[in-house]
Amino acid sequence: MIKLGLFCGAAALALSLPALAEPITPKVGTLPSPAEAFPTEPGSDYYLANYDAYEKYLKTLAAQSDRMKLVDIGKSAEGRTMWVAIVSSPANLAKLDRYREIARRLAKAEGVNETEAKALAAEGRAIVWIDAGLHATETVTTQSQIHVLYRMLSGQDEETKRILDETIVLFGHDNPDGLQLVADWYMRNPDPKDREFRSIPRLYQKYVGHDNNRDSFMSQMPETTAINRVLFREWFPQIIFNQHQTGPAGMVVFVPPFRDPFNYNYSPIVMTELQEVGAAMHSRLVSEEKGGSGMRSAAPYSTWHNGMVRSVAYFHNSIGLLTEIIGGPTPEKIPLIPELQLARNDEPLPIGPREWHLRDSLEYQDSMNRAVMDYAARNRERLLMNIWRMGDQSIARGKRDSWTITPKSVDAVKEAAKGKTAEGGDAYFRGPPPVDSGLYKTVLQDPAKRDPRAYVLPPMQRDTPTTVAFLNALLKNGIDIEQATAAFTAGGKRYPAGSYVVKTAQAYRPHVIDMFEPQDHPHDLEYPGGPPKAPYDITGYTLAYQMGVQFDRVLDGFDGSFTRVAAEQIAPPAGRVLGSGNAGYVIGHETNNSFILTNRLLKAGVPVSWLGAATKAGTVTFAPGALWVPASPEAAAIITQSAPLGVDAYRVSRAPAATKTALKPVRVGLVDHYGGVMPAGWTRWLLEQYEFPFEVVYPQTLDAGDIKAKFDVLVFADGTVPVPRGGAYPGGYRSTMPKPADIPADYRAWLGDVTKDKTVPAIDAFAKAGGTVITVGSANALATMLSPAIQPALVTKKADGTVTALDHKQFYIPGSVLTAAVDTTKPLAYGMAPRVDLFFDESQPFVPAAGATPVVTFDSATPLRSGWAVGQEKLKGTVAVAEVDLGRGKLFAMGPEVTQRAQPYASFKLLFNGILYGPASAAGQ
């Protein structure tokens, strides 16, 4: 029997499934075809091969083909091996190390002149990454990869031979766990007509589901880290092809190029080459009479956001491809949409309505794969030269004065040109009028607005372990980092030894700039004077801001004694035990890792308190919220063993006089719902990393009441509370639950939603009995139901008395970084700086109201730090995070997404403090 493991909190459940037939043994000396190797041929209706079967086939092919080498690149979140099938000619496979070294030298470009680059490009092979399965319910990609591999290994035609000779293709699988889950769930029903995977009970990547394609620059999931290592530290492919589904309605597949805007930080060569590859893909489909491909306006995909597998490629000088195709194991129909029957540039060959089978999608996939590989084969030397050229140009830009022109700088030129006229232009083309060309030098090349030559991170940081986590995210993306071995001067400032230096004179300069500098997204409208045009994903995400890293932008060149970081990951400086007192320990609250230490102490039964006033230990003055741990052998052992966390502890001779809030072990209920909510999954991952004890809880458990007997804290992540369309709280989810009879009995307790009539009274009773409720993002719809003190600020009152969020023409902030003021005297904000950069994604702030204590407030009319904002001035005076007393309990309402995709480390403390403070406050009453 095959077992399907379904992760739930700290436990795993198992579902018994019908056993699959053993693969057929092929004839001796022949390469087994998919039809021979699987009980049913992949691509057949109502059949999905799971990862076990896929993995077995890979091993069989590798053992029998001289065109393929199978490489283990790491483990998935659930412990499965991630394989990459390297496909090329036998002669190339015999020289893989040499070709990988050529790819590295050309991609990094350091120390390689043009003559050397040409020689390397002539010798080298084009490297292409083609993946499958990132989003596991997008079933076409894995089933098609099985066939593409077989055809590449068995084909004898001239095109196949040319591809094998001229390229090295890395076929990867991005999500083994998801494939196993989805395929097994689909195949669980004996009757093919009953098979479906819409009702899978949890996320198809253990923690983050679909957001495994938003983790690329942060690289926190093990699958992302493994892929990034292959792409940017080992193989350096010139083309990265990330395959998805589903395609636009009435069509078959979206193929690049993409719509604007593209990000201003990467090389335009990336975009022009991307258009070439996209054209080759469309041309092949059209020439084979495979209609229904669309580009640009056919779908909303752009190239702005850095977080996706195909888009992080652009910041590494690689061509990033995305396709989105229809299809699946259950046949479907292509509908008739009359407007799509008229051919146009963005849809050159329309397709009529018809029944569509998985086999049809597989043939399209094969054509697109071969188009990409054939393009790489025919343009091998040019691809290799251009990746060198982009890297070399990046290094050169980082060594001289350079400027990045963004929408704000263009607006500055227009402002400077007001009231002035200039000669030139051609009225025939009716373009924008020219302005004084001198403004190019004075405005667009203002010396004060040069791009940095480097970013310097002093060793003394508010939260050094978090700064190290930021540097490690850069390292995972192949960024070169140096550390000073002696003091040096840069930008007129003296820096000590141990400082980290990230120079922009490196091949991956676009990624460096994108992680440190604010994104300046254009003011993109549906039409002049119209509403904002929604971006494909978020618009502002500057990682250094989100993580609260202290750094200096250095605009001029400098030198010093530096050594390049050779390790794949940096460890934070070990925590020290300082001082000689024997009464106990004072520990700062500034590091996020202090919560790991706190949780370890509490788990061991060691007393821990927060100090309510500033406290001095030796020469160090601690801000309010510092930890007080009385001396004991248990405390000493845990603090010593936790030195790798990078948290210092100061021994003192007497207990501090400040008031103390005694912490207690907490029982956290992390609310989720059937099918899984991604923000809840990210939060689950965070709680595990910081060692908070928790249990995933579903609405039925809440509805049963007596919640206080089970939990001290309930956490409602963004999206865990249903919100009506057109309501005060944008976003959220609107789930469609399966019927209980249609799923195994083990999962029926996961069904249900948070409801006003049944769940809210139970939560209200929980809070008034001393429980803590934490609501984030759209889940603040629940906060408003629990307390009149939490009222949405940016709303319009409708005729029926209800309210709706402001329309997008008045207020629209689609995923940006904003600055806000923090009241650091409040326990909810202990350890935070007076200002914080918050991630804000169509969030809803609150009205300052009686009964609510503001903790974080928008105090500026221009809070935007990175991204795009329409109507940002309306935020001034509103409350981002508030605390409300509910009987003996607490309600902590957090409007912005304080744990968004586990990236904004600077605001994690709001959640972590809330988890500990609420129960401690209730216990003290």
Side by side, which strands form the sheet with 609-611? 577-578, 649-652, 584-587, 627-630, 609-611, 660-662
Return the pLDDT at 428: 62
- Establish if 181 belongs to a structural domain: yes
**Minimum mean pLDDT among 42-51, 358-367, 431-440, 840-849: which range?**
431-440
The SS3 assignment for 580 reads coil
**pLDDT (0 to 100) of residue 431:** 75
Calpha distance 829→833 (Å, rounded): 9
Whether 507 and 529 map to the same domain: the answer is yes
Taking residues 182-207, what's their average pLDDT? 96
Q: Choose the final residue of a domain: 519, 534, 564.
A: 564
Q: How far apart are CA 333 and CA 325, in angstroms?
A: 13
Return the pLDDT at 29.
Answer: 57
Structural domain containing residue 443: 403-448
Q: Residue 801: which pLDDT band, with cuts at 50, 70 and 90? A: confident
In a domain, 29, yes or no: no
pLDDT beyond 80 at 21:
no
pLDDT beyond 70 at 552: yes
Tokens of 470: 């930021």
Extract the tokens encoding 809. 């023409």
CA-wise closest residue to 867 among 34, 261, 145, 246: 261
Between the alpha carbon of residue 651 and those of residues 577, 578, 601, 888, the distances in Å are: 7, 6, 16, 35
The SS3 assignment for 795 reads: strand
Q: Is 673 helix (H, G, I), strand (E, B) or coil?
A: coil
- Boundary of a domain, candidates 640, 662, 684: 662
| pLDDT beyond 70 at 249 | yes
Is residue 79 domain-shared with residue 125, that is, in the same domain? yes
Residues 457, 428 within the same domain: no
- Kind plus residue range of the DSSP H or E element containing 883: strand 879-886
Q: Say how far apart CA 707 and CA 278 lie, in whole Å.
A: 55
What mean pLDDT is predicted for residues 98-104?
98
Mean pLDDT of 224-250: 97
Q: Characterize 192-214 residue by residue with b for buried, 16 or more Cβ atoms within 10 angstroms of its Cβ, and e for exposed.
A: eeebbbeebbbbbbbbbbbbbbb
Is the domain of 218 the same as that of 268?
Answer: yes
Amino acid at 907: S
Locate 565 and state its tokens.
Answer: 């970081």
Q: Which has the minimum average pLDDT: 97-111, 580-594, 717-731?
A: 717-731
* Last-in-domain residue among 534, 564, 594: 564
Find the CATH number of the domain harbouring 880: 3.40.50.880
Shared domain for 434 and 373, answered yes or no, is no
Report pLDDT for 28. 47
Cα three-residue angle 312-313-314, rounded to 5 degrees: 90
**What pLDDT does residue 725 have?**
86
- pLDDT of 160 above 80: yes
* C-alpha–C-alpha distance, residues 23 and 744, integer Å: 28
246 belongs to a structural domain? yes
Peptide bond connecting 257 to the previous residue in cis, omega within 30 degrees of 0: yes
Cα–Cα distance for residue pair 844/826, rounded to 1 Å:
22
Q: Is the CB of residue 873 less than 8 Å from the CB of residue 792? A: no
**Res. 3: pLDDT tops 60:** no
Do 523 and 547 sit in the same domain of this protein? Answer: yes
Q: What is the mean pLDDT of the chain?
A: 95
If asked whether residues 825 and 888 sit together in one domain, one would say: yes
pLDDT of residue 174 exceeding 60: yes
pLDDT of residue 4: 41
For the chain, the straight-line distance linking the first and the last C-alpha, in angstroms and rounded, comes to: 54
| Together in a domain, 511 and 584 | no
Residue 883 covered by a domain: yes
pTM as predicted: 0.96
pLDDT at 7: 38
**What pLDDT does residue 734 have?**
64
Are 210 and 246 contained in the same domain?
A: yes
Whose CA is closest to 51, among 146, 164, 126?
146
Compute the average pLDDT of residues 819-826.
Answer: 98
Q: Among residues of the chain, what percentage have pLDDT more than 70? A: 96
Q: Evaluate whether residue 34 is within a structural domain.
A: no
2: in domain: no
Task: Count the domains in the chain.
Answer: 5
In this structure, the answer to whether residues 766 and 834 fall within a common structural domain is: yes
Yes or no: say if 818 and 900 are a contact pair by the CB < 8 Å rule: no
In sequence order, the β-bridge partners of residue 484 are 562
Task: Give the integer Cα–Cα distance in Å for 792 and 805.
Answer: 8
Q: Is the pLDDT of residue 661 over 90?
A: yes
Residue 861, domain member (yes or no): yes
pLDDT, one tens digit per residue, over 585-614 is 999 999 999 999 999 999 999 999 999 999
Instruction: Indicate whether 356 and 466 sit together in one domain.
Output: no
Give the span between the Cα atoms of 553 and 797, in whole angstroms: 46
Q: Are residues 95 and 212 in the same domain?
A: yes
pLDDT at 731 (0 to 100): 80
The pLDDT value given to residue 30: 82
Please tell me the predicted confidence (pLDDT) of residue 623. 96
Reported as a pLDDT band with limits 50, 70 and 90, residue 576 is very high
- Decide if 691 is inside a domain: yes
* pLDDT at res. 791: 97
- Is residue 716 scored above 50 in pLDDT? yes
877 falls in which pLDDT band (50, 70, 90)? very high
Helices (H), ranges, 33-131 = 34-37, 51-64, 90-93, 96-108, 114-123
Statement: residue 9 has pLDDT above 50:
no
CA distance 252 to 333: 11
* pLDDT band with cut points at 50, 70 and 90 for residue 1: very low
Question: Is 232's pLDDT higher than 60?
Answer: yes
Q: What is the CATH number of the domain that holds 227?
A: 3.40.630.10
Between residues 177 and 21, the one the model is more confident about? 177
Alpha helices in 418-508 (DSSP H): 439, 464-476
Confidence of residue 464 (pLDDT cuts 50, 70, 90): very high
pLDDT digits (tens, 9 = 90+) for 731-741: 876 678 999 99
